[in-house]
Structure 1
Amino acid sequence: MRECIQAKFIAALDQSGGSTPKVLKLYGIPEESYANEEEMFDLIHQMRSRIIKSPAFRSEYILGAILFQNTMEREIEGYFTADYLWKVKGIIPFLKVDVGLEKEENGVQLMKQVPHLDETLKRAKERNIFGTKMRSVIKRANQEGIRNIVAQQFEVAKQIIAAGFLPILEPEIDIYSPDKEKAEEILKEEIVKHLSSLGHEEKIMLKMSIPSKDNFYLDLMADPHIVRILALSGGYSRKEANERLSRNHGMIASFSRALMEGLTAQQSEEEFNDTLAAAIKSIYEASIT
């Protein structure tokens, strides 16, 4: 499997309902443009469809795309979104399965308990999803908190693996944490402990904040359980995220906001495609170092 996951990058198109208004605003659609949640989701699907259908969004540079559950159930040109990604674009579909974060405790925000995960995974199988993603957040270098984050991520990952999917574990460290470097050290130690609990055939991907020390996660990439380590942009501009990523050999991008930076609903198709193409090329180039 490691050989199949090439050094391209994974587009994160999985903004949840809570973050959608901000995404739409950055895209040039203010909140007063829609009256309810249904209209909001219609607009965000139009935005995602425009990105996915763009000639710039192609498998030459993009390995996979992470979808929100609402997006999985919608169609693009007569295909369900995951089918369009794979059958038309040759891009692997992933699904965000977490449902948000708990309140901060011990310097971290655990995932909320995922209700009906088995049913969600069954539906994902029907929609031809290949893998999943789930996010937690680390604010401080708190040993107990980070231990709990990693334990929860691996526990849910094993359930996802058993259902036949490749899970992406995302224990994000806040880039503004005052002790980010120490948090990275604790996180790495905990991940190493849990990797040994995986069976020989059990594989995962990790989605991590770009580390403070260049190539800090390089040795983790040699573990046979890890298919790839992805980098999240975490609030950095695309320029800074690319610069930091390019110094971390073997990590590939999985950017969301940084990918869509500069795209607006008001752009002509030519302007939109050119802007997206430049973004994709720069992220790809940062991912293949």
Structure 2
Amino acid sequence: MNPEYKDILLTHSDDIIRKWMDDLEDSKLRDYKSTISDEMIEQVNREFVNLIFSILKDGHSQKSIEQFSERIVNLGWPLGYLTEGMQSFRTICIKSLMEHLDEHDKDGFLQIMEDINHWVDPIKNELVDAYSSNWTSIISLQKVALQELSAPLIPVLDGVTIMPLVGTIDTDRAKLIMENLLDGVIKHRADVVLIDITGVPVVDTMVAHHIIQAAEAVRLIGATCILVGIRPEIAQTIVNLGIDLSKFPTKSSLKRGFEKALEITDRQIVSNGEEKKVIDDIIQSIDKE
């Protein structure tokens, strides 16, 4: 940037900051003011403008840009806050230079605008890139977390685990179910796994095929898979489709499936003792589902 322009901007930075913060008050954040305090908005706005002026004064700082963009993403503020903020800052700086240089001709205006653009545009582009990168990372982490929740494997007793499934099962989710089943059986040393499809709205040929594959894979590593939660309409669909589920046990409810798991693992409910209480509590909680 032209040294003269730089000196003017730094000398009058307080005035520029004041005008910019007033202008930013009516930016994209106006829709967020019901959930964001005025103190927070002012604090972040000041961090924003200090970042811009620090780059003018001390040179480029990639780390500072990334940190500020990450802060905006974590706050849940829109990308428009950055783009509108930079556009507003550009306009105010151009006006400030025009006033203090007393430039009114076309060439002077174009030179000022070119110098400001060379300063502001790279900052804006890097802020947008860093914002997008941080946002993508958060979405990826959330997707992983949702995937893990979509196929949880829950140990309920030594050797007995339950995988409750809710919602539609597609190819990607079926793959995750398979991976979680196999990893969980080994991790929890499970002898029996109950796959509960009570919350699966539709069981078609593809869904049944994936479930059979998962059950067969569990059998190959030495455990038994019990399919529970087969509603009458799903049973009728399975019969009409000619799907063979004879290779592993099926039960109508999770409670009945759990009782079968006790039988397979050579357990029984005795008349007294702590183990009976534990098992009774589990069965009662299952019966409430």
Same fold (TM over 0.5): no
| Larger of the two Rg values belongs to structure | 2
Normalising by structure 2, we get a TM-score of 0.30
Instruction: Return the structure number with greater relative CO, CA threshold 8 A, min gap 6.
Output: 1
Normalising by structure 1, we get a TM-score of 0.30
